[in-house]
Chains A and B, each alone.
Chain A
Amino acid sequence: MAGTLQRQPTVTPARRLAWRAGAVVTALAITTLFLALSGRDPRLLADLVVRSTVGSRFGLEDLALFLTPLLLTGAAVTVTGRIGVWNIGAEGQFYAGAIGATAIGLFLPGPSWLLLPLMAASGIACGMGWILVPALARAYAGVNEIITTLLLNFVAGLLTTYLAVGPWHDRVTGALASTGRLPVRIPEIWGVVHWGFPIALAIVLGLAWLTTRTRWGYQITIGGANEQAARYAGIPVRARILGVMLLSGGLAALAGMFEVAGTVHRLQGGLANNFGYFGIVVAVLARGSCLNVLPAALLMAFILNAGIVLQTQQLTSSAVLAITGLVLFMIAIADELAHYRPVTIRPVTPRPATSAEARP
């Protein structure tokens, strides 16, 4: 008999990685093809993208600035995913964190070594507060968290805009667009890259350790895999759901604090730049593993950065979304295809079935 394709129940990580790499390459190839069809020189654009992302110092700095919030929001969505909860509200918690940090930065005088930790703490507290109600509702009343966290994003976005153009608006220039420049900033370590980047990296690595090597992480893995079995083992599932969601809110909020205190230096509408939603994309790519957040966030940062470059070449900003969608789509296909393996069916000499001869 001829060879057929057969679906394997499990896939080795190496195999999946190979397929995903293929998917990304395919997606980029398709993008190039479309660019070529719309009358641009793909070689020129590719050259430009590479030079202004990984091929130059400025590109790398930009990449790191994109990477910082993506690492944190990606981790925020990934940790809740481990206990079977989807935090769609990283965007809102990002804003809440930025607001909390700005409040301290604008209105509390003091040295920056004191103010920065305070801003972080205040931002994190605000982010946790922002997710608190959805978390309580999910843990103790079973209210679906996807809708509650999502809706709060719009509230947070509007609140930020209101503060930035309203009560907190810039008194120096008087322009109704943002708050004044924060008096303190996260120190830079390399060009425009500030300390938020290594801290975000360390946090993701720490989370990877926390989720796989600690008792707390084990409880969350079990709770996410089978809630009933977790109850059977005496794991306080509700408390863990609450804890993980608060942690998630705090992580996204820290991303907001880093963004406002390290990169933008003022609170303004649209500050979150969809980093909260791209965090969901990162989490989907990371498949529940905090370690995988690193490459997933890197890919996402690269796409965002490339999108900026393409915009300078008169491409519309929706191109970024289209490319992201294409990459995700190809990766989803690759994940499925990775299960299939060609097998050749060896014909076995047919024998008549044993029938009622022997007697037990």
Chain B
Amino acid sequence: MTDTIMEHAAPDLHKGESLVEMEGVGKAYGAIRALEGVNLRVGAGEVTCVLGDNGAGKSTLIKIISGLHAHSEGTLKVDGKERHFGSPRESLEAGIATVYQDLAVVGLMEVWRNFFLGSEIRKGRYPMAPLDIKAMREIADQELQKMGIYVKDINQPIGTLSGGQRQCVAIARAVYFGARVLILDEPTAALGVKQSGVVLKYTAAARDAGLGVVFITHNPHHAYLVGDHFIILKLGRRVLDKKRSEVTLEELTAEMAGGQELAELSHELKR
């Protein structure tokens, strides 16, 4: 399952080196301040988990890194250089790939077309050059086999795969095309226990291959299984920022559940 990742991971990644650094990053949607003063570092071979309640600003944070929205304050550095992404393409070219829970694939398109979407193999470089359909089918087929995703037919619409399989295809695609930083937005949110396990294993494999991973989730248990660093957001601000060695699963869970607020609530509701 990890063959693909090991084979295709960028060779110039060294564990621990900073791939993405954000400092004091903020973002306002008109009058709504979705994010304020957030610092975040993604190191090669590390998983940085971002946790938070609904509306905490998690998606906003990663949309800044992946180029869907530009930040309005602070600095974003990729490989040490300051960047301000104007489109997802720019971010992709910098080696940052994002996988969204619902947005990962185009359901009605064939599995192989999805695998190569945006990075199609062509038989020439001119604008209307034909696709090399045979090669793409073969590669997609092989890569999926290596990952242990058994589809009956590589030509079937990807919507016919299970949620976990689609998620894995999307991750595998990102790695296959040489991503250095992998952003996963709630990859396990809609999955059952077993399928979540597959996605988490895949996440760990990407980390072991030296990629920097940003893992967004509501679930502190999932985060703690793979994370090296944890950030909890609340109403757009950081309320916790700790290394794995400095925090326990219980603390994470308590903080996610509301920490002090929960203690007060339990006091109020005492019977």
B is bound to A: no
